[in-house]
């Protein structure tokens, strides 16, 4: 029997803005193809054994072509599986959901869509900026800034936009913000038109900066704002409403909080390392956009071959991005542990992916697995216990500097 494909919009940032229908689809998926802007923590909700495939496009990193993504959707659905295509925001707002729906329909596969909260509206809202506001503005236009004005691939009527009187919302526009603002100004939009940029909306690292059409590109540059980010240009950007930041971000680490508690890997560890979770590359890639980020499911050999590049890893930023688990082998044991961790180990998505990876790829002769996690990471604990692991205190000397870490051990069969 042919399976079906559900295109699920995950909303921006963390799973909090994922819809109930989207969550329900994840909970019954056999296969999930996800992007890195999707709220990956929600992957913890997938059934054990669900196949999770990272098809995300990370700037400077690995990318699965759209063609290949379409093929994977079709292949898995034709094999009778329930396939979820999990994306950030809404699948049909610069999400290529339309292309995927057509590819599936052409292959005779039933496609369903579960819309998501789009960052085009949510990011401004979270910064107290309504894209329409009675008495101020009656329309908004969301545009892609992935190519600059005048580029042959751009179909945006910038002169019309400059005179329309709409709130202008720009996605994927950080690289060309300066050119876009200059274009709007050259077509008559006053340079003192208020503007704001919201980065990492609904994430602990959420940042908002304000300026006007004439200054916002420089503000963004000076403040080191990086994608994903939304620019809003129009009167509403100058009158943010008195809304509080999302309360789930209150206890979150500030942007760039140093995580000195981490134990850097020692070069003497290198010979033992078998698996290095992509997190190390993610951390490196923040500072070196050229660094390639391997996916968890890439071959162990390929992952371990990259090891020599690093003698010490100092992992920064949010544990959700890091996860930071590596594997080691001694004799017939295969251990996951002695990790470098951020204090915030709430990356259930990473925990889920790691578990799947270990269970599938552990070499022959394995006697036990170790999984390490923060003591507050309750959903990971539940996940690991359900998979037959037992919690033990982490007495390993290498964890001494990582308070509150638990070790989950799976006894040999
Ligand atoms: C390929 S588009 C996908 C948009 C997505 N389908 C949506 O509806 O939000 C990626 C762009 O969305 C915006 N974006 C996505 N998530 C964001 C977030 N959490 N904070 C700010 N902007 C975000 C950024 O402009 C980013 O470059």
- Per-residue pLDDT of the chain (413 residues), as tens digits, is 778 999 999 999 888 999 999 999 999 999 999 887 888 778 778 876 778 787 865 444 456 789 999 999 999 999 999 999 999 999 999 999 999 999 999 999 999 999 999 999 999 999 999 999 999 999 999 999 999 999 999 999 999 999 999 999 999 999 999 999 999 999 999 999 999 999 989 987 788 999 999 999 999 998 888 888 999 999 999 989 988 877 766 544 433 332 333 333 333 332 222 223 333 333 333 334 444 444 333 333 443 444 333 322 322 223 333 333 333 222 222 233 333 333 233 344 445 545 554 555 444 333 334 454 554 455 556 666 666 666 665 444 433 333 344 555 555 44
Give SS3 for 143.
strand
Compute the distance from residue 346 Cα to the ligand 1 centre, in Å. Answer: 22
Q: What are the structure tokens assigned to 180, written together?
A: 């876009």
For residue 200 and ligand 1, the question of a CB distance below 6 A is answered with yes
| Atom number, ligand 1, closest to the C-alpha of residue 173 | 25
Which stretches within 79-214 are classed as H helix?
Answer: 97-106, 119-126, 158-164, 177-186
Q: What are phi and psi of 79, to 5 degrees?
A: -80, 5
Domain with CATH 3.40.630 in the chain: 267-410
CA angle 71-304-382, nearest 5°?
70
Q: Is the pTM value of this prediction over 0.75?
A: no
For residues 185 and 324, what is the distance between their CA atoms, to the nearest angstrom? 46
For residues 276 and 339, what is the distance between their CA atoms, to the nearest angstrom? 10
Terminal Cα-to-Cα distance of the chain (whole angstroms): 35
Compute the distance from residue 231 Cα to the ligand 1 centre, in Å. Answer: 11
Q: 119: which residues sit within 8 A by CB, 6+ positions away?
A: 12, 88, 89, 93, 171, 201, 228, 230
* Region 267-410: CATH code: 3.40.630
For residue 93 and ligand 1, the question of a CB distance below 6 A is answered with yes
For residue 172 and ligand 1, the question of a CB distance below 6 A is answered with yes
Q: 309: which residues sit within 8 A by CB, 6+ positions away?
A: none
For residues 11 and 22, what is the distance between their CA atoms, to the nearest angstrom? 10
- According to DSSP, the residues that pair with 328 across neighbouring strands are 273, 335
CA distances from 84 to 10, 15, 44, 77, 163 (A): 11, 16, 14, 10, 41
| 97 within 8 A of 7, measured Cβ to Cβ | yes
Q: What are phi and psi of 97, to 5 degrees?
A: -65, -35
- According to DSSP, the residues that pair with 326 across neighbouring strands are 276
Compute the distance from residue 169 Cα to the ligand 1 centre, in Å. Answer: 11
User: Which listed residue (1, 14, 54, 57) is catalytic?
Assistant: 57
Task: Indicate which residue's Cα is closest to atom 2 of ligand 1.
Answer: 94
Q: DSSP state, 161?
A: H
CATH architecture for residues 4-117? 3-Layer(aba) Sandwich (3.40)
Compute the distance from residue 229 Cα to the ligand 1 centre, in Å. Answer: 7
Out of 3.30.70.1560, 3.40.50.620, 3.30.950.10, 3.40.50.2300, which CATH number does the structure's domain 120-248 have? 3.30.950.10
For residue 229 and ligand 1, the question of a CB distance below 6 A is answered with yes
Domain with CATH 3.40.1010.10 in the chain: 4-117
Give SS3 for 86.
strand
Q: Is 35 tagged catalytic?
A: yes
Task: Indicate which residue's Cα is closest to atom 5 of ligand 1.
Answer: 89
Q: Is 57 tagged catalytic?
A: yes
For residue 225 and ligand 1, the question of a CB distance below 6 A is answered with no
For residue 202 and ligand 1, the question of a CB distance below 6 A is answered with yes
Compute the distance from residue 20 Cα to the ligand 1 centre, in Å. Answer: 20
For residues 32 and 8, what is the distance between their CA atoms, to the nearest angstrom? 10
CA distances from 263 to 8, 285, 324, 342 (A): 38, 19, 11, 9
pLDDT value for 78? 95
Q: What are phi and psi of 94, to 5 degrees?
A: 50, 40
Q: Is 410 tagged catalytic?
A: no
């Amino acid at each position: 029997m042919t399976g079906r494909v559900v295109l699920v919009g995950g909303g921006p940032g963390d799973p909090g803005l994922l819809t109930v229908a989207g969550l329900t689809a994840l909970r019954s998926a056999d296969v999930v193809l996800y992007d890195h802007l999707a709220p990956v923590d929600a992957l913890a909700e997938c059934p054990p054994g669900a196949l999770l495939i990272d098809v995300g496009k990370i700037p400077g990193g690995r990318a699965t072509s759209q063609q290949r993504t379409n093929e994977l959707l079709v292949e898995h659905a034709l094999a009778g599986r329930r396939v979820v295509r999990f994306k950030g925001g809404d699948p049909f707002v610069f999400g290529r959901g339309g292309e995927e729906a057509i590819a599936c329909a052409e292959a005779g596969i039933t496609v369903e869509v579960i819309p998501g909260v789009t960052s085009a509206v949510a990011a401004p809202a979270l910064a107290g900026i309504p894209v329409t506001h009675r008495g101020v503005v009656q329309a908004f236009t969301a545009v892609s800034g992935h190519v600059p004005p005048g580029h042959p691939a751009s179909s945006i009527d910038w002169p019309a936009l400059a005179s329309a009187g709409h709130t202008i919302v720009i996605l994927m526009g950080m690289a060309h913000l300066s050119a876009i603002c200059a274009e709007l100004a050259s077509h008559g939009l006053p340079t003192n038109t208020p503007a704001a940029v919201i980065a990492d909306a609904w994430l602990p690292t959420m940042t908002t900066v304000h300026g006007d059409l004439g200054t916002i590109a420089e503000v963004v540059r000076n403040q080191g704002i990086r994608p994903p980010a939304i620019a809003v240009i129009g009167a509403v950007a100058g009158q943010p409403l008195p809304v509080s930041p999302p309360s789930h971000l209150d206890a979150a680490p500030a942007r760039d909080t140093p995580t000195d508690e981490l134990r850097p890997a020692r070069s003497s560890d290198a010979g033992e390392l078998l698996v290095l979770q992509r997190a190390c590359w993610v951390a490196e890639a923040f500072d070196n956009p050229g660094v390639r980020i391997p996916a968890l499911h890439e071959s162990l050999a390929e992952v371990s071959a990259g090891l020599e590049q690093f003698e010490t890893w100092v992992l920064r930023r949010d544990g959700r991005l890091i996860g930071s688990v590596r594997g080691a082998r001694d004799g017939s044991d295969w251990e996951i542990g002695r990790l470098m961790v951020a204090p915030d180990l709430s990356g259930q998505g990473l925990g889920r992916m790691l578990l799947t990876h270990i269970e599938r790829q552990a070499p022959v002769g394995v006697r036990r697995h170790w999984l390490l996690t923060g003591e507050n990471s309750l959903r990971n604990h539940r996940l690991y216990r359900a998979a037959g692991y037992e919690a033990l205190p982490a007495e390993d000397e290498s964890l001494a500097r990582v308070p509150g870490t638990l070790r989950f051990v799976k006894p040999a069969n």
